[in-house]
Structure 1
Amino acid sequence: METRELRYFVAVAEELHFGRAAQRLGISQPPLSRAIQQLERRLGAALLDRTSRTVTLTEAGSVLLAEGRAALEAVDAAERRTRRAALSVPGRPGLVLVAKASASRELLAKLLDAYAAEPGAVTVDVILCGPAQQEQFLREGRADVALLHRPFDSTAGFDTEELGTENQVAVLPAGHPLTARPHVRMADISGLPGLPLPRWPDPDGTYLPGPGPQVRDHAQLLQLVALGRACAVSPESCRAQLHDDLAAVPVLDAPPVTTVIAWPPHSRSRAVADLVRTATHLEPLC
């Protein structure tokens, strides 16, 4: 299959309308229809069920849509990494590390300091992003390595090394009655009057409906908690960022958070390997 054919098919499969897909691709409809028919003949499978009114995916079409998206993402990522390599200093290509803003701050500082002291260390550019965006940056080739947090981030398709696991705490305004307890459960904080849990954006920037405030980053969330407008459940390492107007209480039934360092499985970068090795030799999170 050609990349062009995959892009054509994905556009039709997502729009489920040949006219809109053609407009999105910037071509006329007849060559788009011919390209899809040629692709179906080559694969020996119907990808779309067409009527005069509707276009729907067949089972084979659903499979190709998922696989085609992944293939096109890989092609785009390869292009981005190649362009970045071409712009780097000859023989000394730098690395791009992506991490969630305000998460793993202490770990990130230790990692960068330890790696900088290694012989042959290269420049590491750090991108701090919003929740769930590290995975997207890594898949799209905009980063070489990422710090991810299971179970919140997917590590499917990446090579990973675990750096440590920590429990979660409820972050509440100082003086709230629950802060006097040795621990709480999710049921205790999921419906607190006036202190709803926040809503984080999806990677595309959309928010799910709900009563909680929309938040973009951890600093904004902590300010809302301090103002008595929200509560939060965060990894225990967040205690280092809390001021006197906030308090943290262990949440017994919140899932543990495992921090991993992740990179594309096809990477042959010596610098990535050295950075990963340095990360695995750091004192583990606990």
Structure 2
Amino acid sequence: MDHLETRQLRYFVAVAEEQHFGRAAHRLGMAQPPLSRAIRDLERHLGVQLLVRTSRRVALTPAGQVLLDEARIALDAVATAGNRTRHAGQEVPALRLALKADHDAGLLPRILDAYDVLPVELLLGGYGEQLAALHDGRADVALLTTPFDERGIDSEPLVTGPRLVAMAASDPLAARTGLRLVDLTGRLLPYGTPAEKGLPTPPFDHHEPLDHSQIFSLIEVGAAVWFLPVWLAERFDRPGIAYRPVEGLEPATLTVAWPARSRLAAVATFVRTVQQIAGDTATYDNPAPVGHPV
């Protein structure tokens, strides 16, 4: 049997994740008929049914689920090989650090000052993109806030502190100094999850990432609430938003993370440097409420 092609795997992963041929074709930038033909050819090539098709959606067969899991690993490996090869060929080597802007708990300036093994190249991205960058070889190391999918990742904790709920300052709950998760019944997180359920657990559902300005705009008009680390709340003290502690809400831990298979000495030195800096950082225990109730 001939080997599978990465093109076939990309097509199949798109259909499996979107559960719809039309949406998958749009995602891939192609017409639907050739995509449907490509998936049928893939099923004939493997001699198994991968998808159960209905008029509204497609679902994975057991064989399809196996291929989806393996295809993701294979595509990540191909992307990693290309990214790491390009990085290795750079004339001036650098350590690539992935992070979400403002999610460094104030550590980043001191990290950049203290780490002198290699120049540090910052890869700033949206929520969730840092983990993908570690897996596909675009980043050597990342700053991540728990929870995240730890498969294939090694990490060390740096700073732990409470999470607060951000809500409209006009919300009646903002008049309280502390809340419980059940008090948030009826309110939604930015991606539509009921807030009273607490933090979503990884792996997270796929969503187009929102930036801070979009999330805070939703909060200010009462369309959403948001759970965020206290160190991030301190950076966004806005008149229209109140931050309150929530009993039973999982605390946040900022970690330094890297691929489990990494053997780069520069990464090991970076981790030790960041741990030393974090050890000198004040803790965030029992923060006062932040924000301006009206």
TM over 0.5: yes
- In the TM superposition, residue 275 of structure 1 has moved relative to its aligned partner by 0.7
Within 5 Å, give how 1:61-72 maps onto structure 2. 61-72=64-75
**Is 1:235 the equivalent of 2:229?**
yes
Q: Which residue of 2 aligns with 1:108?
A: 108
SS in 1 for 2:157: strand
Cα pair distance change 1:282/1:203, threshold 3 Å: farther
Cα pair distance change 1:184/1:3, threshold 3 Å: farther
Q: Runs of at least 4 residues of structure 1 off by over 6 A?
A: 20-24
Cα pair distance change 1:180/1:48, threshold 3 Å: closer
Q: Which residue of 2 aligns with 1:43?
A: none
* 1:282 partner amino acid: I
SS in 2 for 1:251: strand
Q: Which residue of 1 aligns with 2:156?
A: 161
- In the TM superposition, residue 230 of structure 1 has moved relative to its aligned partner by 4.7
Cα pair distance change 1:250/1:57, threshold 3 Å: closer
8 Å CA contact 1:171, 1:248 repeated in 2: yes
- In the TM superposition, residue 198 of structure 1 has moved relative to its aligned partner by 2.4
Within 5 Å, give how 1:203-218 maps onto structure 2. 205-206=207-208, 216-218=210-212
Cα displacement string for residues 98-118 of structure 1 (whole angstroms, at most 9, x for unaligned residues): 111221240222322222xx4
8 Å CA contact 1:49, 1:57 repeated in 2: yes
Q: Which residue of 1 aligns with 2:118?
A: 122
Q: Which residue of 2 aligns with 1:188?
A: 183
Distance 1:58 1:175 in 2: 49
- In the TM superposition, residue 185 of structure 1 has moved relative to its aligned partner by 1.6
2:79 to 70, 76, 82: 76
* 1:87 partner amino acid: Q
* 2:125 partner amino acid: C
Distance 1:130 1:190 in 2: 28
Distance 2:59 2:206 in 1: 24
Distance 2:250 2:70 in 1: 31
* 1:134 partner amino acid: Q
TM-score, length-scaled by structure 2: 0.69
Within 5 Å, give how 1:22-41 maps onto structure 2. 33=41
- In the TM superposition, residue 220 of structure 1 has moved relative to its aligned partner by 4.2
Cα displacement string for residues 206-237 of structure 1 (whole angstroms, at most 9, x for unaligned residues): 37xxxxxxxx2224434554566654321111
* 2:94 partner amino acid: G
Structure 1 gap segments, 5+ residues each? 41-45, 208-215
| Alignment RMSD | 4.1
Question: Highest CA radius of gyration, 1 or 2?
Answer: 1
8 Å CA contact 2:96, 2:140 repeated in 1: yes
TM-score, length-scaled by structure 1: 0.71
**Is 1:249 the equivalent of 2:255?**
no
Structure 2 gap segments, 5+ residues each? 193-203, 285-294
8 Å CA contact 2:142, 2:257 repeated in 1: yes
- In the TM superposition, residue 85 of structure 1 has moved relative to its aligned partner by 1.6
Q: Which residue of 2 aligns with 1:135?
A: 131
8 Å CA contact 1:132, 1:203 repeated in 2: no
1:86 to 76, 84, 89: 89
**Is 1:147 the equivalent of 2:143?**
yes
